[in-house]
Amino acid sequence: CFLSLQKREISNFDYLMYLNTLAGRSYNDYMQYPVFPWVLADYHSETLNLSNPHTFRDLSKPMGAQTAERKQKFIQRFNEVEKNLPAQCHYCTHYSSAIIVASYLVRIEPFTQTFCSLQGGSFDVADRMFHSVKSTWESASRDNMSDVRELIPEFFYLPEFLTNANHFELGCMQDGTVLGDVQLPPWADGDPHKFILLHRQALESDYVSAHLHCWIDLIFGHKQHGSAAVEAVNTYHPYFYGNKTDLNNIKDPLIKSTILGFISNFGQIPKQV
């Protein structure tokens, strides 16, 4: 499959889906949903320049290390573990989880009901809902220390999830904005189909093709755990690594239930491929 990718016989999208499947990710499991990368860093320009390297996200770094300042904060967290955290890691949240998937797809069923169920029966506070591609990128790459989310496959083929065609009452933000359709970057001209088209072109671009292996190393490969992960600022809470937590040897039912709940709510590292 990798040789087919090198020869341009399959797309980057198809290759990522193949890797997700090998790693145990599935559309049938929100907790292990297929994970795709943010590929762009430009959500403000009027036109999208796919020949400019600065248009793209740094695929060699996890979302928590996209800026030098944020990277340093996570390194500091890792080094100060004994004072503040029960386990040594850079991130206590995950890049893919049931709530992240449902929040992205909240405007279409059955994900609307799934999201509400995960939220205790109702929508979340409007300001925390997925409402803007640009603000979500800024949160995950720069602003929010609890947010290191990646994307899902639908960002590259399904324009419908970006529109509130079912007219759900998603609430009103503090600035008075009523939530409806997802706010798109200027280069999409307010058109979800154009956004998907350009976003897919970005995924299949020469730049991403040349650097995608770096991201694959972080998510599915040798930088997923161990010393390589520490060096790459890419370690997560131990509970996220399902193969490292032997639940059969945990006798306390409360502790076992807590671990299972943690994994269910916050995500799981893909199997290494």
- Choose the CATH number for 1-266 among 1.10.10.10, 1.10.1540.10, 1.20.1740.10, 2.30.30.140: 1.10.1540.10
Q: Helices 192-203 & 12-22, crossing angle to 10 degrees?
A: 80
Q: Which 3-state string (H, E, C) describes 230-273?
A: HHCCCCECHHHCHHHCCHHHCCCHHHHHHHHHHHHHHCCCCCCC
pLDDT 10s digits, 123-147: 988 889 999 999 999 999 999 999 9
3-state class of 36 per DSSP? strand
The Cα 23–Cα 51 span in angstroms is: 32
Instruction: Classify residue 14 by its DSSP letter.
Output: H
Domain limits, the chain: 1-266
Between these two residues, 213 and 126, which has the higher pLDDT value? 213
Express each pLDDT in 217-258 by its tens digit.
999 999 999 999 999 999 998 888 866 556 666 777 777 777
Q: What is the mean pLDDT of the chain?
A: 90
pTM for this structure? 0.91
Name which of 159, 133, 149, 127 is nearest 42 in CA terms.
133
User: Which residue is it, tokens 């049931």?
Assistant: 98
Classified as helix, coil or strand, 228 is helix
